[in-house]
Amino acid sequence: MAYINENYNKLKAGYLFPEIARRVKAFTEANAEAAKRLIRCGIGDVTEALPQAVRDAMHKAVDEMGDRSTFRGYGPEQGYDFLRNAVAEHDFKARGIQIEADEIFISDGSKCDTGNILDIFGAGNKIAITDPVYPVYVDTNVMAGNTGDADESGAYAGLHYLKCNPANGFVPDIPNEPVDLAYLCYPNNPTGAVATRAQLEAWVKYALANGTTLLYDAAYEAFIRDPELPRSIYEIEGARDCAIEFRSFSKNGGFTGVRCGIVVIPKGLMGKTKAGGKQAIHPLWSRRHSTKFNGTSYIVQRGAEAVYSPEGKKQVATLIEHYMGNAALLVEACKKAGLSVYGGVNAPYVWVGCPNGITSWQMFDKMLNEANVVITPGSGFGSAGEGYFRISAFNSRANVEEVCRRIAALV
């Protein structure tokens, strides 16, 4: 028999979404009629159709694959130049940011990237993670053996938790000690918070002073409406020397079921060796990508390229407007109901305080049983999420309007 990776035994076994599924199933089995009016605002998945420009580009790519003279087999592992160039041009150069095409790695999504990135970092790093947090950052560190066991509150020994709360606007204070890696995600899932330029400047300054590598997840940058807010960590001077950025086509282009992501690693970004030397990180990720990944499908990359076409940009803007219109309605409904509301202005998530001191799971049950609406309990994202719940704006307008009516009737 083979030894297993026992780090997996430390995981709080897939706690959040399976538990939601279990409670929803029990509810629907016991309440056949009410189950028919159930509206899901839980999991952060897009609901609207792929943009026409993306579909057209993918159809064309399929036809190319069907003709021997234009057929493509294995592509470059790092991504086709047409897409790397489009990303460099539209996401960075057009915004005055210096990122070159060969600093961009195309993948099958940023959930995988944020987990896989740990492959190129060694043991013994001090790792900072926000609380509440996107659970992938935590669980992949547990799997990699970077933590000890979890305590009662679900906090793992060895991780440095950065509490996010109304007092700091859900953007963590700078750590009071040096850390080697720090995960930041803005606009944030689950809180919908955004980081201002001044806040990111403070983080970059800290990172440069302490040799910290920032792992910056910009999956929701397209939802930023306020032109003053940075949409990439590289808008901050010095970030090229301390940050890796993750981007995704999932939430802007609706690619959650198509799969395409981006990792940006500036060539000058350095890590350290045990012997006390410095080494560039870019070649490590390039090597990892070439060895463990065989490229994102040509058809998908043509679809992603189309997100940057004039029609694609217009269609994505329409999608974002739709979701952000939903978010605005949800924010208003929760405020009218007297709840404390955060996010939902530059992010598709509305983060709400539970009324009357009830817990996140009590609120989940109340929403499920009384309003027949599925939300996500904040405590599932970390102990600092207790007392909050998340409503996703990814839905049809009709569903969101109905959810707003039910919230008004509920509280």
Ligand X SMILES: *Cc1c(COP(=O)(O)O)cnc(C)c1O
Task: Tell the smallest beta-carbon distance from residue 276 to ligand X (Å).
Answer: 34
d(CA 105, CA 263): 5
Q: Does 256 bind ligand X (CB under 6 A)?
A: yes
Cis amide bond preceding 187, omega within 30? yes
d(CA 53, CA 309): 8
Q: Does 300 bind ligand X (CB under 6 A)?
A: no
Q: Are 188 and 347 in contact (CB under 8 A)?
A: yes
Range 118-137, binding ligand X (CB under 6 A): 134
> Which residues lie below 8 Å from residue 217, measured CB to CB, with a gap of 6+?
110, 114, 134, 183, 184, 185, 186, 245, 246
Residues in the chain: 411
Interface segment toward ligand X; rule CB under 6 A; list 138-146, 233-241, 249-257, 297-305? 249-257
Q: Binder to ligand X among 78, 85, 110, 379 (CB under 6 A)?
A: 110
d(CA 169, CA 196): 10
Q: What angle do CA 289, 294, 296 make, to 5 degrees?
A: 95
Q: Which is nearer to ligand X, 172 or 261 (CB)?
A: 261
Q: Which is nearer to ligand X, 111 or 240 (CB)?
A: 111
What are the φ/ψ torsions at residue 390 (nearest 5 degrees)?
-110, 130
Q: Which is nearer to ligand X, 137 or 364 (CB)?
A: 137
Task: Tell the smallest beta-carbon distance from residue 392 to ligand X (Å).
Answer: 10
Q: Which is nearer to ligand X, 255 or 364 (CB)?
A: 255
Q: Does 245 bind ligand X (CB under 6 A)?
A: no
Interface segment toward ligand X; rule CB under 6 A; list 14-22, 104-112, 222-230, 357-365? 104-112
Q: Does 216 bind ligand X (CB under 6 A)?
A: no
Q: Does 111 bind ligand X (CB under 6 A)?
A: yes
Q: Which is nearer to ligand X, 381 or 407 (CB)?
A: 381
d(CA 336, CA 171): 26
Q: Binder to ligand X among 132, 187, 192, 261 (CB under 6 A)?
A: 261
Task: Tell the smallest beta-carbon distance from residue 362 to ligand X (Å).
Answer: 25
Task: Tell the smallest beta-carbon distance from residue 43 to ligand X (Å).
Answer: 10
Task: Tell the smallest beta-carbon distance from residue 325 to ligand X (Å).
Answer: 20
Q: Does 42 bind ligand X (CB under 6 A)?
A: no
Q: Which of 189, 191, 176, 205 is nearest to 134 (CA)?
A: 189
**Percent of the chain that is helix, strand, coil (3-state, to 5):** 45, 15, 40
Q: Which is nearer to ligand X, 80 or 394 (CB)?
A: 394
Q: Are 210 and 178 in contact (CB under 8 A)?
A: yes
Range 139-198, binding ligand X (CB under 6 A): 185, 189
- Taking residue 345's Cβ as centre, other Cβ atoms within 10 Å add up to 19
10 Å CB burial of residue 43 (0-12, 13-18, 19+) is middle
Q: Does 252 bind ligand X (CB under 6 A)?
A: no
Q: Binder to ligand X among 104, 219, 236, 407 (CB under 6 A)?
A: 219
d(CA 364, CA 325): 24
Q: Which is nearer to ligand X, 271 or 348 (CB)?
A: 348
d(CA 324, CA 305): 24
What character string, x for contact with ligand X (CB under 6 A) and - otherwise, covers 54-93?
----------------------------------------
Q: Does 217 bind ligand X (CB under 6 A)?
A: yes
Task: Tell the smallest beta-carbon distance from residue 61 to ligand X (Å).
Answer: 20
Interface segment toward ligand X; rule CB under 6 A; list 109-117, 120-128, 270-278, 372-380? 109-117
> Which residues lie below 8 Å from residue 369, measured CB to CB, with a gap of 6+?
27
Q: Which is nearer to ligand X, 77 or 221 (CB)?
A: 221
Residue, CB closest to ligand X: 109
Long-range contacts of 353-362, Cβ-Cβ distance < 8 Å, separation of 24 or more: 353/387, 353/388, 354/378, 354/387, 354/388, 354/389, 355/411, 357/387, 359/386, 359/387, 360/385, 360/386, 360/387, 360/388, 360/389
Q: Does 248 bind ligand X (CB under 6 A)?
A: yes
Q: Which of 199, 217, 207, 216 is nearest to 271 (CA)?
A: 207
Which residues bind to ligand X, rule: CB under 6 A?
44, 109-111, 134, 185, 189, 217, 219, 248, 250-251, 256, 261
